[in-house]
A and B are shown apart, each in its own frame.
Chain A
Amino acid sequence: MVDVQLQHEVEQFLYQEAEILDHRRFQEWLDLFTEDAHYWMPIRSTRARGDEANEFTREDENSYFDDDKPMLARRVAKFDTGFSWAEDPPSRTRHMVTNVRIRNGAGTNEIAVVCNFIVYRSRMATDEDLWIGEREDLLRKVDGQWRIARRKIFLDQTVLRSKNLSSFL
């Protein structure tokens, strides 16, 4: 069984991250990533049973996000240019993180953590988006703090029912 203390720590870390995102403290959010971080979200497609291996694009194929930390930083810098129209007025997001499972590595300084997420976005008067899926994080302890070294985001939608992805998941 996973150590209760570790489980608690990891959950609190993910809840903190959700709060930081929902409160648009994006510089702080960047600090949660290691310098070598990779943020990746493949494309999903509807496939017949038996063809599940091709449901998600591979790492060398197209993806919604395939970002290193400098690229994430550029996305964040974009918000503050004064011309970032997709986020001006800004999205109102609510990140729900649930079903947190620690996969391995308890006791080392790296652990794989899987969770489910629901992200709701409300924007302007009536725009609404709902992004639901599973996240697979590799967390690393750096100077006594958990940091995100890898994030893989698996959305449940195939055709994205959103005009854009100007929010982070």
Chain B
Amino acid sequence: MAIDMHTLVDRARGLVSRRIMADEEIYRLELERIFNRCWLFLAHESQLAKPGQFVTTWMGDEPVIVTRDSHGQVHAMINSCRHRGNSVCRAEAGRTSSFMCTYHGWTYGLDGQLVGVPGYEERYHGDLDRRQWGLIPVSQVASYKGLIFGTFDPQAPPLEEYLGDARWALDYILDQRSGGTEVVGGVFKWLINSNWKLSADNVMGDNYHGAITHRSATTVGHQTLSRIERRNNGRGDDLPAGPGVRPGFSAPLGWGHGFMCDLQPPGDHSFMEHPEPLRSYYRETLPELERRLGPMRARVKKINLTLFPHASFTTSSNMLHVWHPRGPTQTEVWLYVIVDKDAPDEVKQLLRQSAQRHFSPSGMFEQDDMDNWELSTQAAGRTISRNYPLHYGMGLGHEGWEDDGVVSRQINAINDESNQRAFYYGWDDFISSGNWDALRRKRAAWESGQPVAEGAALGG
């Protein structure tokens, strides 16, 4: 059945078709227009500290190897032998000098070049241009403050342009200290039977669900360790917004990026009332943070950011979730813990432990998200339910837009679904735009506050 893409996101009413959460045809389109075009998170540089180190990951439905070669250069290429297609690497991570295919032995260097072909003279008679038969490269690879990204689209804009205003939040995560960041050893990986977008939109904008979904964790006094205040008997995190309770702002950006930021009133440092040694660490590093990032970010309690399409950062416990789609109704979640490289070991241990207890598969918070997303995904595939759109309209038309120069445009509260709407507007822009010029126009229009009216009304 042909699907009219213009009926999937209804901007006038803030509605999103359920079909995009379960439909096979739309998923194929997402792979082509989103995952094969956008800059995707590949790895943290600290995972590739030494020459010859590699990790494997996913870019959409393509398995990718990310390496550091002997000159220190980072490469990314598809993990599929050019002879018959077999994988050339079966480990998740390791260290090597080359990748030999286990089928006939074609061998590739750390840069993906074909460096060895058994029987090159006797069987191929030297008649094989090895330069043409290297592993399929990821078209562009670039780093932003320790994070390595790649895109399959040679036309994609430079990484910094792609990230745009999301860098304000990213810098808070990656650039508080001159030594930069590293990831803690070990990446959590687990499978959930839900659509990848439900998780991505949740982290960037859903401060509505915490009071219900995560009520059991907050009830027993479980809390995260990052720069969060400990008011409300330690229940400071994820409570519903109210005037004066949560000063902060939402930044629903173009191209589907967005973040929400909780701020402390100027001069109020109660957000550093954490267990030692974290408290001392935060106190001692605050001047450095302020020097590097300015007074506004010295007031940040917490930022939740999703980089479109599928990398979600939560600064409480310093986490990065990557929501790898494994089909329209399955997601492979990868969770990294990012810490300041120069932090004392005890601080790194506290943050690592906090992330595990909070948002790993066993996490006191994370456990309770999964059924919600799985059951929502199941309903999205059903014959009657799928014709009834999802409501993303909270606060639509009541946004307190403001411009204080932090990002292009922001909303002076965190109490609506603006960020999630921005995510689906971005999604719609990528799905419906054939080239980057059109995408640039749409982003500029959105960020200047004059979005082009796109998308027809949904359902009745």
A residues near B, CB below 8 A?
Answer: 41-43, 45-48, 51, 54, 57-58, 60-67, 71, 74-75, 77-79, 81-87, 158-166
User: Is there contact, CB below 8 Å, between A166 and B362?
Assistant: yes
Of all chain A residues, the one with the shortest Cβ separation from B366 is A164
The answer on a CB contact under 8 Å between B185 and A58 is: yes
- Kindly provide the distance from the CB of B86 to the nearest chain A CB, expressed in whole angstroms: 16
Using A62-B187, A66-B353 as known contacts, say yes or no to A85 and B213 having CB atoms under 8 A apart: yes
Task: Tell me, yes or no, whether B188 is within 8 Å of chain A by CB.
Answer: yes
Q: Across the interface, which residues of B come within 8 angstroms of A42, CB to CB?
A: 186
In the assembled complex, the Cα of A87 lies from the Cα of B93 at a distance in Å of 34
Contact A160 B190 (CB under 8 A): yes
CB of A64 within 8 A of CB of B188, answer yes
Q: What are 24 A-B contacts defined by CB distance under 8 Å? A: A42-B186, A45-B91, A45-B186, A51-B95, A54-B93, A54-B94, A60-B352, A61-B184, A62-B184, A63-B186, A64-B356, A65-B356, A74-B222, A83-B215, A84-B368, A85-B368, A86-B370, A86-B371, A159-B189, A159-B191, A162-B361, A163-B361, A165-B360, A165-B361
Query: Is B412 an interface residue, CB under 8 A from the partner?
Result: no
Q: Is B90 an interface residue (CB 8 A)?
A: yes
Shortest distance from the beta carbon of A114 to any chain B beta carbon, whole Å: 22
The answer on a CB contact under 8 Å between B356 and A81 is no
Given A54-B94, A164-B366, answer yes or no on A78-B217 (Cβ-Cβ < 8 Å). Answer: yes
Q: Is the CB of B90 within 8 A of A65?
A: no
Is B94 within 8 A of A78, CB to CB?
A: no
Task: Evaluate contact between A81 and B90: CB separation under 8 angstroms.
Answer: no
Q: Chain A contacts of B193 at CB under 8 A?
A: 163
Chain A residues near B95 (CB, 8 Å)?
A: 51
Question: Min CB distance, A61 to chain B, in Å?
Answer: 3
| Chain A nearest Cβ from B228, distance in angstroms | 18
B222 touches A45 (CB 8 A): no
- Give 15 new A-B contacts, CB below 8 A, not counting A62-B187, A86-B368: A47-B94, A60-B349, A62-B355, A65-B356, A66-B353, A66-B357, A77-B220, A83-B216, A84-B216, A85-B216, A86-B367, A159-B190, A159-B332, A162-B190, A164-B190
CB distance from B185 to the nearest CB of A (A): 3
B190 and A63: CB pair below 8 A? Answer: no
Q: Is the CB of B91 within 8 A of A51?
A: yes
| Known A-B contacts A48-B90, A66-B353, A74-B222; A61 and B186 likewise in contact (beta carbons under 8 Å) | yes
Across the interface, name the chain B residue whose C-beta is closest to A74.
B220
- Flag if B184 contacts A45 (CB, 8 Å): no
List CB contacts (< 8 Å) of B406-447 with chain A: none
Chain B nearest CB, measured from A24 CB (Å): 16
A66 in contact with B220 (CB, 8 Å): no
Measured CA separation A62–B363 after assembly (Å)? 12
Instruction: Report A169 CB to chain B, min CB distance, Å.
Output: 10
Q: Are A45 and B356 in contact (CB under 8 A)?
A: no
Give, as a whole number of angstroms, the nearest-CB distance from A158 to chain B.
7
Q: Which residues of A contact B360 (CB under 8 A)?
A: 62, 64, 165
CB-based contact B92/A57 at 8 Å: no
* A86–B321 CA distance with the chains assembled, in angstroms: 20
Q: How far is the CB of A51 from chain B (nearest CB, A)?
A: 5
Which of A45, A75, A77, A163 sits near B190, CB closer than 8 Å?
A163
Give the complex CA separation of A57 and B92 in angstroms.
13
Query: Which residues of chain A come closer than 8 Å to B215, judged between CB atoms?
Result: 81, 83
Q: Which of A46, A57, A165 contacts B362 (CB under 8 A)?
A: A165
Are A61 and B374 in contact (CB-based, < 8 A)? no
**Chain B residues positioned under 8 Å from A78 (CB to CB):** 216-217, 219-220, 222, 364
Give A54 to B54 CA distance when docked, in angstroms. 13
Task: For the complex, give the distance between the alpha carbons of A158 and B361 in Å.
Answer: 13
Q: What distance in Å separates the Cβ of B138 from its nearest Cβ neighbour in chain A?
A: 21
Query: In the complex, which residues of chain A have a beta carbon less than 8 angstroms from the beta carbon of B91?
Result: 45-48, 51
The verdict on B164 contacting chain A, using a C-beta distance below 8 Å, is: no
Cα separation A126 to B17 with both chains bound (whole Å): 27
Interface: B337 (CB within 8 A): yes
A121 to chain B, nearest CB (A): 13
Known: A74-B221, A83-B219, A86-B370. A47 touches B93 (CB 8 A): yes
Whether B364 contacts A74 by the Cβ 8 Å rule is yes
Question: In the assembly, what is the distance between CA of A93 and CA of B179, in Å?
Answer: 46
Interface: B268 (CB within 8 A): no
Interchain CA distance A160-B360 in the complex, whole Å: 11
Complexed CA–CA distance, A165 and B146 (Å): 31
On whether the beta carbons of B222 and A66 are closer than 8 Å, the reply is no
State how many angstroms separate the Cβ of A26 from the closest Cβ of chain B.
13
B345 located at the interface, meaning its Cβ lies under 8 Å from any Cβ of chain A in the complex: yes
In the complex, A77 Cα to B217 Cα: how many Å? Answer: 9
* Residue on B nearest A68 in the bound complex, by CB: B353
How far apart are A72's CB and chain B's nearest CB, in angstroms?
A: 11
- Which residues of B335-376 are within 8 A (CB) of A? 337, 345, 349, 352-353, 355-357, 360-362, 364, 366-368, 370-372, 374
B293 beta carbon closer than 8 Å to chain A: no
A161 touches B191 (CB 8 A): yes
CB-contact partner of B185 in A62, A71, A162, under 8 A: A62
State whether A60 and B188 are in contact (beta carbons under 8 Å apart), knowing that A85-B371, A158-B92, A164-B367 are contacts in the complex: no
Nearest-neighbor residue (CB-CB) of B334 within chain A: A159
Task: Determine whether the beta carbon of A81 is less than 8 Å from that of B188.
Answer: no
A76 nearest in chain B by CB position: B220
* B394, CB-defined interface residue at 8 Å: no
Contact, CB under 8 Å: B192 / A163: yes
